[in-house]
Amino acid sequence: MAREPLTPKGGAKIADVARAAGVSIMTVSRALRGVEGVSMAKRDEIIALARELRYSPSSLAGSLAAAHSNLIGVSVPTLDDAVFSEIFETMRNAFLRSGFQTVFDTTDYATHREEEWVERMIAWRPAGIVLSGVDHSPRTKRMLLRSSIPTLEIWSHAQNPIDLCVGIDHFAAGYEMGQYLTGLGYKRPAYIGPRAVYDVRAQQRLDGLKSAFAEMGCTVDPCIRMAPPLSFEGGRLGMQRLLEGTLNPPDVCCFLNDHMAFGALMECEARGISIPKDMGVVGFNGLRLNSVLNRRITTTATPRAQMGERAASLLIAKISKAATVNTIKLPVKIVPGETTRDLQEEISP
């Protein structure tokens, strides 16, 4: 391949600006970066000249020479789930405000994809890296640790994170919901969600749920494990399977998320099963969808925006070597809905 200069159409380099301004390239570099050591007059002149010459700085060369970049890599399992798009959006804004550029990818819950992404990302020498969840391949952890790049795990709370961690305690969230449901008198819970290996956080919540029910001598059964995509259709399909697989349906059914719970509601509606009279339905996350339903799903609200905000602050603090803590655990909140018993009694006179 012919070697053409990297700057498009042989565009202006810093040296061209320097020549035009009659100063050294260092003065131009300082002026354009806003670094002190240039008189105001010269600075403005250089900036105007650079614009005139349509000079576009090369982040490639700049980062290489400066030995650091302003990139922050963020990986999330999927964008399908509104949870991650909300967290991501908050973080991205926070990073931008601090002058960092976010580079982003999805991993489809596959640790090997995450591993490949981390490897590619490290090659760009980012200022920081954000991973979702706390289940990563050993090699991912090793690479990150050795790289000495500030790393933050978000969404789950980890006891011993790679570096930093901001998240919720999924076991506790499941446990709290379990207590709430047993408090309402439910005794035969079912669960519809993903396979354990697929989504470790979901499994932790299920474990918490089981634990709470176990204290009342109840087991969560059946636990139906679905293949992705775990959204509306998955919930509807799961409910179909549940109802067709048993003569003795549960008194409450918990789902991976609100979307699945909604799909299940539709299936129940079609079959003439009355919610919550015949069965309770419980989601997770407290998504937007819920706020427009005429019969709201009982769910657990997760502090997604707050999580993104806190995570960004913490990572930035670490990058500037000012971090005071390593982990932040955020609380979740049970949101009573109209798909479990209690409120039903209140609203039907």
Partner DNA sequence: GGAATTTACGTTAGCGCTAACGTTAGCGCT
Partner DNA sequence: AGCGCTAACGTTAGCGCTAACGTAAATTCC
Residues lying near a copy of itself in the complex (CB under 8 A) = 3-9, 11, 54, 56-64, 67-69, 79-80, 82, 85, 88-89, 92, 101-106, 119-120, 122-125, 143, 146-149, 229, 231-233, 235-236, 262-263, 266-267, 269-270, 288-289, 291-294
Shortest approach of DNA to residue 199 CB, angstroms? 36
Shortest approach of a copy of itself to residue 291 CB, angstroms? 6
The option from a copy of itself, DNA, none interacting with 9 (CB < 5 to 8 A, set by class) reads a copy of itself
Q: What kind and span of H or E run contains 198?
A: none
Q: Which is nearer to a copy of itself, 218 or 265 (CB)?
A: 265
78-108 b/e (C-beta count within 10 Å ≥ 16 → b): beebbbbebbbebbbebbeeeebebbeebbe
Q: Which is nearer to a copy of itself, 247 or 321 (CB)?
A: 321
**Strand order through the sheet with 101-106:** 101-106, 71-76, 128-132, 151-156, 164-168, 327-330
The option from DNA, a copy of itself, none interacting with 14 (CB < 5 to 8 A, set by class) reads DNA
Judge whether 305 and 90 are in contact, CB under 8 Å.
yes
> Cα–chain-centroid distance for residue 225?
22
Percentage helix, strand, coil, to 5, in the chain?
A: 45, 15, 35
134-173 b/e (C-beta count within 10 Å ≥ 16 → b): bbbeeebbebbeeeebbbbbbbbbbeebbbbbbbbbbbbb
Shortest approach of DNA to residue 97 CB, angstroms? 21
Alpha-carbon distances of 22 from 19, 38, 53, 118, rounded to whole Å: 5, 14, 14, 44
The option from DNA, a copy of itself, none interacting with 29 (CB < 5 to 8 A, set by class) reads DNA
Q: Which is nearer to DNA, 58 or 327 (CB)?
A: 58
| Strand segments (E) across 26-142 | 71-76, 101-106, 128-132
Q: Which is nearer to DNA, 19 or 113 (CB)?
A: 19
Residue ranges in contact with DNA by CB under 7 A: 1-3, 5-7, 13-15, 23-27, 29, 32-33, 35-39, 42, 55, 57-58, 61-62, 64-67
Shortest approach of a copy of itself to residue 167 CB, angstroms? 20
The option from a copy of itself, DNA, none interacting with 233 (CB < 5 to 8 A, set by class) reads a copy of itself
The option from DNA, a copy of itself, none interacting with 37 (CB < 5 to 8 A, set by class) reads DNA
> Cα–chain-centroid distance for residue 196?
19
The option from DNA, a copy of itself, none interacting with 294 (CB < 5 to 8 A, set by class) reads a copy of itself
Rounded Cα distance between 66 and 64, Å, is: 6
Rounded Cα distance between 4 and 61, Å, is: 16
Shortest approach of a copy of itself to residue 288 CB, angstroms? 5
Cβ-based neighbour number of residue 69 at 10 Å? 18
Shortest approach of DNA to residue 71 CB, angstroms? 15
Shortest approach of a copy of itself to residue 92 CB, angstroms? 7
Judge whether 168 and 332 are in contact, CB under 8 Å.
yes
Q: Which is nearer to DNA, 67 or 247 (CB)?
A: 67
